[in-house]
């Protein structure tokens, strides 16, 4: 089957229910191309975290098939595939377990058979990127939630995975931390899937989106997804305020061909109109 697959991640008819009978995912078909940055949107309980854990090879679908780079994900090869995938859990307490920041960030690289000098270099680079320099000796357990989130993100970045699965990476980050993380993620050429409730972050990082509520409701370019207002409303989702403003102006008769997703795009649009 290798080579026949369409994307770096592909799901066919994937379903998952927990042992208590709770259905989390139903008959999900989805393709993500190499290098794409995709926002995973959906209300609480939609199955976003469940899906990321399945893609990370940490849980296995109850039905259907997952392919990673053309290789079917099975219990046998999950270990090999897991090395190519970095996952940031929604709750940093599920991820951080070493008693010192530096050791926690270094844990993945050390277990990837990197040399000591490589480990030192990737760890200090990752710590720098998330703005934790000076806190290397702190006990993560005693840090604030936002600081712990940064430790967890540094740990994922330090492993330099080909595919990044990020579950609410910006929750509890302050505005500067959030915009620094957005800048980092935008600069990466990796395939990135980011589950988020923050529509501004989604629009800054991702060019595509998938809307999930146990089943796939829609997927495609972010702009197209964000223009499906009634579908988004039915899934309890919103669009960035700037986008809302332009949807409202459009309803008032303004010509809006390319729905602005950011303040910058909105400004450009208004400037063109005023000229």
Nearest CA to 158 out of 210, 88, 224, 93 is that of: 88
The residue with tokens 């799901």 is 11
Q: CB-wise, 35 or 45, nearer to ligand ATP?
A: 45
Least distance (Å) between residue 252 CB and ligand ATP: 33
Q: CB-wise, 22 or 33, nearer to ligand ATP?
A: 22
From the list 19-27, 81-89, 124-132, 241-249, the region that binds ligand ATP by CB under 6 A is 19-27
Residues in contact with ligand ATP, shown as a per-residue x/- string from 84 to 123 under the rule CB under 6 A? ------x---------------------------------
45 makes contact with ligand ATP (CB under 6 A): yes
Q: What gap in Å lies between CA 106 and CA 156, rounded to an integer?
A: 10
Q: What gap in Å lies between CA 27 and CA 10, rounded to an integer?
A: 13
Q: What gap in Å lies between CA 11 and CA 31, rounded to an integer?
A: 6
| Residue selected from 26, 49, 196, 243 as contacting Mg ion according to rule CB under 5 A | 49
For helices 263-274 and 241-251, what crossing angle results, to 10°?
40
Please calculate the CA angle 261-262-265 and round it to the nearest 5 degrees: 90
Hey, which residues between 121 and 150 contact ligand ATP (CB under 6 A)? Answer: none
38 makes contact with ligand ATP (CB under 6 A): no
Q: CB-wise, 153 or 242, nearer to ligand ATP?
A: 153
Q: CB-wise, 44 or 115, nearer to ligand ATP?
A: 44
Measured in whole angstroms, the distance separating CA 68 from the mean position of its chain's CA atoms is 16
Structure tokens, 142: 């005693």
From the list 38-46, 75-83, 105-113, 226-234, the region that binds ligand ATP by CB under 6 A is 38-46
C-alpha distances in angstroms, 177 versus 32, 170, 180, 195? 27, 8, 5, 17
Strands 163-167 and 85-88: parallel
18 binds, among Mg ion, ligand ATP, none (CB under 5 to 8 A by kind): ligand ATP
Least distance (Å) between residue 42 CB and Mg ion: 9
The answer for residues whose C-beta is within 8 angstroms of residue 235's C-beta and 6 or more apart is 41, 42, 43, 46, 211, 213, 217
User: Which residues form the interface with ligand ATP (CB under 6 A)?
Assistant: 18, 20, 22, 24, 42, 44-50, 90
User: Which residues form the interface with Mg ion (CB under 5 A)?
Assistant: 48-49, 90
């Amino acid at each position: 089957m290798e080579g026949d697959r369409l994307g770096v991640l592909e799901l066919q008819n994937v379903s998952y229910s927990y042992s208590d009978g709770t259905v989390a995912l139903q008959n999900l078909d989805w393709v993500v191309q190499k290098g794409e940055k995709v926002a995973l949107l959906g209300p609480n309980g939609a199955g976003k975290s469940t899906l990321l854990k399945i893609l990370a090879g940490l849980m296995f679908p109850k039905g259907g098939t997952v392919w990673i780079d053309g290789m079917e994900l099975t219990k046998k090869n999950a270990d090999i595939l897991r090395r190519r995938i970095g996952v940031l859990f929604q709750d940093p307490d599920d991820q951080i377990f070493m008693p010192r920041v530096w050791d926690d960030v270094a844990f993945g690289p050390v277990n990837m058979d990197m040399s000591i000098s490589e480990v030192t270099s990737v760890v200090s680079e990752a710590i720098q990127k998330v703005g934790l320099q000076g806190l290397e000796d702190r006990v993560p357990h005693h840090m604030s939630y936002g600081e712990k989130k940064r430790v967890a993100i540094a740990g994922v970045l330090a492993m330099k995975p080909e595919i990044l699965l990020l579950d609410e990476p910006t929750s509890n980050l302050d505005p500067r931390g959030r915009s620094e993380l957005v800048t980092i993620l935008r600069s990466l050429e990796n395939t990135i899937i980011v589950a988020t409730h923050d529509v501004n972050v989604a629009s800054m990082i991702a060019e595509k989106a998938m809307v999930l509520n146990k089943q796939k409701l829609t997927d495609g370019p972010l702009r197209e997804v964000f223009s499906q207002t009634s579908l988004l409303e039915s899934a309890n989702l919103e669009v960035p305020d700037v986008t809302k403003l332009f949807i409202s102006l459009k309803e008032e008769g303004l010509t809006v061909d390319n729905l602005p997703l950011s303040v910058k795009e909105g400004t450009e649009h208004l400037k063109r109109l005023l000229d």
